[in-house]
Structure 1
Amino acid sequence: MRTIILLFLAIGSLSISSSAQTKAVETLKIKTPTVGCEACKTRIEEYLKRYDGVTYVNVNWRKKETMVKFLTNRINAETIKAAIANAGYEADEYPANPDAYNKLPKTCKHGG
Structure 2
Amino acid sequence: MKINLLCCIVLSMLLLTACGALFSRYNNYMSEWKGQDEDQIYLVYGPPMRKQDLKDGRTLIAYDYQAPGGDTISTCEVRFTLRDGVVEEATYGGNYGAVSRFVKGPGK
Q: TM-score, normalised by structure 1?
A: 0.40
User: Which of the two has greater strand per residue?
Assistant: 2
Larger Rg: 1
TM-score by length of 2: 0.41
